[in-house]
Amino acid sequence: MQNAVLDALKERRSIRRFKAEQIKDEELMAVLEAGTWAPTAKGLQDPWIVAIQKPELLERISRMNSEVWGRDIDPFYGAPTYVLVFASGPEKTSNGLCDGALVLGNMMNAAHSIGLGSCWINREREMFATAEGKKMMKEFGLPDGLIGVGALALGYPASFPNTVHPRKEGYYRIIK
């Protein structure tokens, strides 16, 4: 079976080289809104989305992430926009991480569908568990008790990966 959505899901790739040009506001809004339509446990809409375009804050977040990673590089690959996703910790719900992951997935697919590139960035859980991270979350106006789920590097692709790894054998099972 083939259709535009299924094709887009197969074509989307993580982008690790971005143009410096900032994305348009309407593009950012489309990506963020797509995140809000992700399914969430019990329809609670627990995740919180924070988009960052302020250069000083981009640098600070990149530094925090690279410190957690233990590498002296820009883990956001020069993207002009970061999108952070937070959710309630396990003391409130056992579904926060899953719900946040669905939000990130929706936003990556939406970005691809409008010509933007994205890459899931890890280590937000560790970053925002630090004193600096908790202070930053307060600066974002987020409620207490949230954890970092993940982030997106978001922007216009400077290049596209030219390799596609085949799907592994036995990836799924059908039991009838």
Average pLDDT, the chain: 96
pLDDT, residue 76, reads 98
- Going by pLDDT thresholds of 50, 70 and 90, the confidence category of residue 93 is confident
pLDDT, residue 164, reads 83
Beta strand 48-52 pairing with 146-155: unpaired
pLDDT per residue as tens digits for the range 117-149: 999 999 999 999 999 999 999 999 999 999 999
Pick the CATH number of 17-155 from 3.10.20.340, 1.10.3720.10, 3.40.109.10, 3.40.50.150: 3.40.109.10
**Nearest Cα to 38, choosing from 144, 149, 174?**
149
**Rg value, the chain, Cα:** 17
pLDDT, residue 161, reads 84
**Nearest Cα to 6, choosing from 87, 94, 112?**
112
State both tokens at 34. 């797509």
Q: Where are the domains of the chain?
A: 17-155
Q: In what order do the strands lie in the sheet with 48-52?
A: 48-52, 81-88, 146-155, 117-121
Residues 6+ apart with CB under 8 A from 152: 82, 83, 104, 107, 108, 111, 118, 119, 120, 121
Taking residue 68's Cβ as centre, other Cβ atoms within 10 Å add up to 19
**Nearest Cα to 152, choosing from 56, 23, 67, 52?**
52
How much is the average pLDDT of 30-57? 96
Hey, which residues does 4 pair with through a beta bridge?
A: none
The whole-model pTM stands at 0.95
Q: Which residue has the tokens 């250069």?
A: 55
pLDDT, residue 160, reads 85
Taking residue 90's Cβ as centre, other Cβ atoms within 10 Å add up to 10
CA 28, CA 81: separation in Å to the nearest integer?
A: 9
